[in-house]
Chains A and B, each alone.
Chain A
Amino acid sequence: MPSGHARGKIRPMRDYWLSKLFFDLQSSPPLGEEYRADRRKILDRYQLRPEVRAAVERDDVAFLAARVNPYLLRFYFVVAGMPEAEFLRKVRTAGAAAAARSSHG
């Protein structure tokens, strides 16, 4: 069996509808345009739990990173228009926070 522990990685818990939102947005450039123009209108079509929707609306990378595949997370924030440097800063901070939590766990 493979051994070892992922450095700073977040456990693979998946929120299905959040993942579906991200998947659909990166699959369809027109949907991406619509999303950037009116985020709430698109979010209304997905069965997101209130706390998940709120995290999407405030671009909470750390919260979302714990719930979707990392590639989808990355693709989503490209589509959503977050600058690369900002995404890198936020996703790294999310890892540091997760590592701090686990070291106190």
Chain B
Amino acid sequence: MAELVGVYASSHAPLIVRGWKDVSPRNQQDLTRAMTELGRRIKGARPDVLIEISPDHWVNFFINNLPSICVGMGEEHEGPAEPWMKECPYKKIAGHPRLAHHIVQTALEHDFEPSMSHHLTLDHGFCIPLWRGGLDPLPPIVPIIFNDIEPPFPTVRRCLRWGTMLAEAIRSYPEDIRVAILATGGLSHSIGEPTMGEIDEPFDRECIRHFEKGDDSLIDFLNERLPTIGNGASEIRNWIAAHGAAGKRGFELIGYCNCPEVYVGCGFASWNLGAAA
């Protein structure tokens, strides 16, 4: 049977690539340290497959057909299409259709109805954490896209349940493979809104404390606060799914950087899967 060997989360601010030279040396150092450590932990877990949860930044989907959740079933995915990601080494990215199919089947049996795609382009949200974490070569990726971009969004509680279901899908997958999960996005930021450029560090710190507590107060906190801050924080839904997959236990902050040069309160984390309840 498959084994869940690691659960991780990472911000994916585009300006980490597109505007890196404008980031202060101190913040460059903090971001590099956190992303390198994240990559080291993922590599150390030796996953045969990496399930990655990220939004789609208007690359695969448009408002004529916009799934709340989509699972990438393809043998192969396209690397990032953004012109400023042209230096990214991932041009074609292997998928894992058998695990992806099993995840969708398990989801349907648990009363989720995800969308499916046999050919996805993995944008910067998927690729920046992998690239900057030094994952080359990549394990096969099963991409899962959450709609964190265009309201209305999946509820926070639903995302938590999706994560719980995902862990069950991994446990019940019949091949002996090692599987890790990486959720990307967040923490606080605002894109294309009047608050663009604002980072709410008190929100981010409180959010991190709720992840560390590992109880359901996190859900209430996000339900109350997400509608009041920048739109980019909606991507914390992906972290919530990772949290659910980890059984809501063992959250460990790798690093946090309030980085105005990239417009994002950048967070990096992993979950200790051996943590007691």
A98 touches B227 (CB 8 A): no
| Interface band, chain A | 35 or more
**B277 in contact (CB, < 8 A):** no
Spot the interface stretch: B30-38, B42-50, B89-97, B190-198. Answer: B190-198
- Interchain CA distance A72-B56 in the complex, whole Å: 12
Interface residues as binary, B50-67 with A (CB distance below 8 Å gives 1, 0 otherwise): 000000011100111000
Q: Please, which residues of chain B bring their CB within 8 A of the CB of A26?
A: 58
Q: CB-CB < 8 A to A96: which residues of B?
A: 194
| Cα of A96 to Cα of B226 in the assembled complex, Å | 20
Chain B contacts with A in 237-252, Cβ cutoff 8 A: none
Q: How many A-B residue pairs have CB under 8 A?
A: 85
A5 with B83: in contact, given A74-B192, A96-B194 (CB under 8 Å)? no
Residues of B within 8 A of A19 (CB): 62-63
Q: How far is the CA of A68 from the CA of B155 in the complex (A)?
A: 22
Residues B223 and A65 in contact, CB atoms below 8 Å apart: no
B84 to chain A: closest residue by CB? A78
Residue of B nearest to A87 (CB): B196
| B204-257 at interface with A (beta carbon < 8 Å) | 223-229, 231
B227 touches A70 (CB 8 A): no
Q: Closest Cβ of chain B: how far from A105's Cβ, in Å?
A: 17
User: Which A residues form the contact surface with B (CB < 8 A)?
Assistant: 1-10, 12, 14, 16, 19-20, 23, 26-27, 29, 65, 69-75, 88, 91-92, 94-96, 98-99
Top 3 nearest A-B pairs (CB, nearest first) are A95-B194, A70-B192, A74-B192
The interface of chain B, by Cβ under 8 A from chain A, is 57-59, 62-64, 81, 83, 149-151, 155-156, 191-197, 223-229, 231
